Amino acid sequence: MAKPNATPMRVIEETPSYWRAVFDYPPFNVVDGDVFQALQDLLVRLETSETLRVVVFESALPDFYLSHFDLTGKLGNVMTGIGPSGLPVLMDTFVRLTKVPVVSLAKIRGCVRGVSSEFVLACDMRFASRENLKLGHPELGVGLHPGGGGTERLPHLVGRGRALEIVLSANDFDGDTAERYGYVNRSLPDAELDGFVDALARRIGSFDRPALGAAKHLVNEVSLLSADWLLAAFTSFGKALGWPAAQNRVKAVLERGLQSDTTFEKNWPEVLGDLGVPKQ
């Protein structure tokens, strides 16, 4: 049944109606150009399949869902290329995921930060492990800000106050808090998470495609922001990547162990308030 890919993400066709997309890109599932390419390839399949109703996004690594944007620069064409929607590849990936008439469920365990938070925010629903979740936006801590939809999607989901807390604190949010804030749909006991999401996916997989497509479209019409707002954040983020102060902070976290040391990779937002680099 499994159909492994030679990419950072394997697609398992559970049934013609229900697929699982499994991120498997050790050691940390860092989000680089190859991850976006795999998502772009999958999007074409989602957009053209005549049988698919639902896709579950999950990770093969117990402690990392998708960790964060690659800060060593292996971003491929993510910032500069243009996708089929006419938007930059990073934005194009998330925007098309929100609009495709296939239901996307993020089943989340482990670390999910920055652009990875923005990926799950672009999924239709988010279900997290209550005991095993570190979800957040650490960008401010490295002198940057979210650029892939976080500043746009969070306020509509959790309200302005909690959106500002998530973005400006650069802290991790655990399962209980993420559920209470509405950042995820639900946090479930880890032992129940797989069963809950699988049952939901099979149920949705049994429904009619025209009805699913129409319902998602109607909800989208009143809940998705115009791409103009997303583009403003993306453009601002692109500039911020060139700020010397941000580059100093990025250098500091890489030297401390980001993308190389497992313990640091799990916990790095903890030190962001005390990086020891000059602030701007």
Among 7, 15, 169, 247, binds a second copy (CB under 8 A): 169
Choices 27-35, 73-81, 84-92, 235-243 (CB under 8 A): range interacting with a second copy? 235-243
Segment 53 to 72, residues that bind a second copy, using CB under 8 A:
none
Q: Which residues contact 221 (CB under 8 A, 6 or more apart)?
A: none
Segment 13 to 42, residues that bind a second copy, using CB under 8 A:
17
**Given the complex with a second copy, which of 27 and 99 has the nearer CB atom?**
99
CB of 248 to a second copy, least distance (A): 10
Q: Is 192 an interacting residue with respect to a second copy (CB under 8 A)?
A: no
Among 216, 250, 258, 259, binds a second copy (CB under 8 A): 216
Query: What is the signed CA dihedral for 106, 110, 111, 112, rounded to 10 degrees?
Result: 10
CA pair distance 241, 143, nearest whole angstrom = 9
CB 143 within 8 A of CB 280: yes
Could you count the other beta carbons within 10 Å of the beta carbon of residue 49? Answer: 18
Segment 128 to 167, residues that bind a second copy, using CB under 8 A:
139-141, 143-146, 151-165, 167
Could you count the other beta carbons within 10 Å of the beta carbon of residue 252? Answer: 17
Structure tokens at 60: 């093969």
Catalytic, 221? Answer no
CB 91 within 8 A of CB 42: no
CA pair distance 193, 106, nearest whole angstrom = 11
Q: How many residues bind a second copy (CB under 8 A)?
A: 77
Among 168, 176, 251, 260, binds a second copy (CB under 8 A): 168
Segment 238 to 277, residues that bind a second copy, using CB under 8 A:
240, 243, 245-246, 249, 272-275
Selected catalytic residue, list 14, 131, 139, 165: 139
**Given the complex with a second copy, which of 61 and 102 has the nearer CB atom?**
102
Q: Is 229 an interacting residue with respect to a second copy (CB under 8 A)?
A: yes
**Given the complex with a second copy, which of 77 and 185 has the nearer CB atom?**
185
Q: Which residues contact 64 (CB under 8 A, 6 or more apart)?
A: 27, 28, 29, 110, 111, 265
Burial level of 44, CB count in 10 A (0-12/13-18/19+)? exposed
Segment 82 to 121, residues that bind a second copy, using CB under 8 A:
103
**Given the complex with a second copy, which of 3 and 279 has the nearer CB atom?**
279
Choices 6-14, 81-89, 196-204, 252-260 (CB under 8 A): range interacting with a second copy? 196-204
CA pair distance 57, 18, nearest whole angstrom = 11
**Given the complex with a second copy, which of 76 and 238 has the nearer CB atom?**
238
Helices 150-169, 115-122: crossing angle, 10 deg rounding: 140
**Given the complex with a second copy, which of 18 and 36 has the nearer CB atom?**
18
Selected catalytic residue, list 13, 14, 58, 118: 118
Catalytic, 165? Answer no
CA pair distance 201, 106, nearest whole angstrom = 11
Active site amino acids: 118, 139
